């Protein structure tokens, strides 16, 4: 019998990549999206292999009708996903994250037979801005500084409560930054890669960027989605940080990437103060010892690989 999986956010970077991973494992994959945009599924050549549902406004009745198809696994990778936009779209951000999670949890709680396993994609943003370089663990204090981060934390805490109180197989994956060649052109690493291509073709003279001193733990989306599937494959379900354990500044990435192209990096960067984000987290560091110890998972790709794969 094929396993059946349902993915919320099927058309995004993570949903599309997870779909490809599950299909390769002979899953029957179903997916829900808020927008009818299947370009990522087309790029991966898997669009026709997925049962797709379009639900624009978190219609509870429609979601429950889909949940009744009896899935072994549910992954929530959807919702309003822009930290910056969440300040302008507070209601949409909360509604698109928290409401469907509550619908899913209540449905699983009311299941009479075997309980469906559920994984929620939380974010490193829930930790907020720390004042030291200590690597963050799952137990560290969470202090969100954006509506997006707060919506993620509320969902995370609700899920944790359902797991602890009702003994349900539900959890959160706290995802740090992760990239792929499916990333939108406005994401910073994709923006840099595309700009360098244009510079080489004399289509552009400089890369316009905001704060290049930010430091992030950057990983590869396929590694992270493989980890999400691994988490739900175990009998004991728990929350895990998924990251690489290595933090690099954007400035260092620029220096190395442009140097590899034989460019003097200072001559090709245009810092635009208008692109600085008031509530941007300056740096983050991840401790991945829990997932390494419990699930024997390790990332296969690091920042030095990403630039050539995006």
Using only the alpha carbons of the chain, give its radius of gyration: 20
Q: What is the CATH number of the domain that holds 128?
A: 3.40.50.720
For 58, the domain range is: 4-179+218-244+288-293
Residue 191 within any structural domain of the chain? no
Token digits of residue 290: 């829990």
The answer to whether residues 53 and 261 touch, using CB atoms and an 8 Å cutoff, is no
Q: How far apart are CA 168 and CA 272, in angstroms?
A: 48
Mean pLDDT by 10 residues, the chain (310 residues): 94 97 98 94 97 91 96 96 91 95 97 94 96 93 96 98 97 97 88 87 86 94 98 96 96 86 80 85 96 97 85
- Phi and psi at residue 269, in whole multiples of 5°? -115, 130
Residue 196 within any structural domain of the chain? no
Residue 86 has a pLDDT of 92
The answer to whether residues 124 and 177 touch, using CB atoms and an 8 Å cutoff, is yes
Length of the chain: 310
Residue 157 within any structural domain of the chain? yes
Number of domains making up the chain:
1
Q: How far apart are CA 212 and CA 64, in angstroms?
A: 44
Residue 279 within any structural domain of the chain? no
Q: How far apart are CA 51 and CA 77, in angstroms?
A: 16
Residue 282 within any structural domain of the chain? no
Residue 81 within any structural domain of the chain? yes
pLDDT in tens, 140-175: 999 999 999 999 999 999 999 999 999 999 999 999
Residue 260 within any structural domain of the chain? no
Residue 266 has a pLDDT of 78
Other C-beta atoms closer than 10 Å to the C-beta of 11 total: 25
Residue 129 within any structural domain of the chain? yes
Taking each helix axis from N to C terminus, what angle separates 147-166 and 90-110, rounded to the nearest 10 degrees? 10
Residue 149 has a pLDDT of 96
């Amino acid at each position: 019998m094929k396993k059946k999986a349902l993915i919320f956010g099927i058309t995004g970077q993570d949903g599309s990549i997870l779909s490809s991973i599950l299909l390769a494992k002979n899953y029957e994959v179903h997916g829900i999206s808020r927008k009818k945009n299947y370009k990522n599924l087309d790029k991966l050549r898997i669009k026709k292999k997925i049962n797709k549902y379009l639900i624009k406004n978190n219609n509870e009745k429609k979601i429950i009708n889909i949940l009744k198809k009896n899935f072994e696994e549910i992954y929530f990778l959807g919702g309003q996903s822009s930290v910056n936009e969440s300040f302008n779209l507070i209601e949409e951000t909360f509604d698109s994250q928290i409401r469907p999670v509550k619908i899913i949890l209540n449905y699983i709680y009311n299941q009479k037979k075997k309980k469906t396993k559920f994984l929620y994609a939380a974010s490193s943003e829930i930790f907020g801005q720390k004042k030291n370089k200590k690597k963050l663990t799952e137990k560290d204090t969470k202090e969100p500084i954006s509506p997006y981060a707060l919506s993620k934390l509320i969902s995370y805490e609700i899920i944790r409560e359902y797991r602890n109180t009702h003994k349900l197989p539900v959890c959160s994956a706290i995802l740090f930054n992760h990239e792929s060649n499916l990333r939108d052109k406005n994401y910073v690493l994709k923006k840099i890669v595309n700009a360098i291509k244009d510079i080489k073709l004399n289509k552009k003279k400089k890369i316009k960027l905001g704060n290049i001193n930010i430091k992030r733990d950057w990983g590869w989306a396929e590694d992270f989605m493989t980890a999400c599937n691994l988490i739900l494959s175990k009998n004991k379900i728990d929350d895990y940080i998924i990251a690489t354990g290595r933090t690099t500044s954007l400035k260092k990435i620029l220096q190395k990437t442009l140097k590899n192209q034989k460019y003097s990096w200072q001559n090709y960067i245009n810092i635009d103060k208008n692109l600085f984000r008031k509530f941007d987290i300056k740096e983050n560091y991840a401790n991945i010892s829990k997932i390494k110890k419990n699930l024997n998972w390790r990332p296969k790709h690091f920042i030095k690989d990403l630039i050539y794969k995006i």
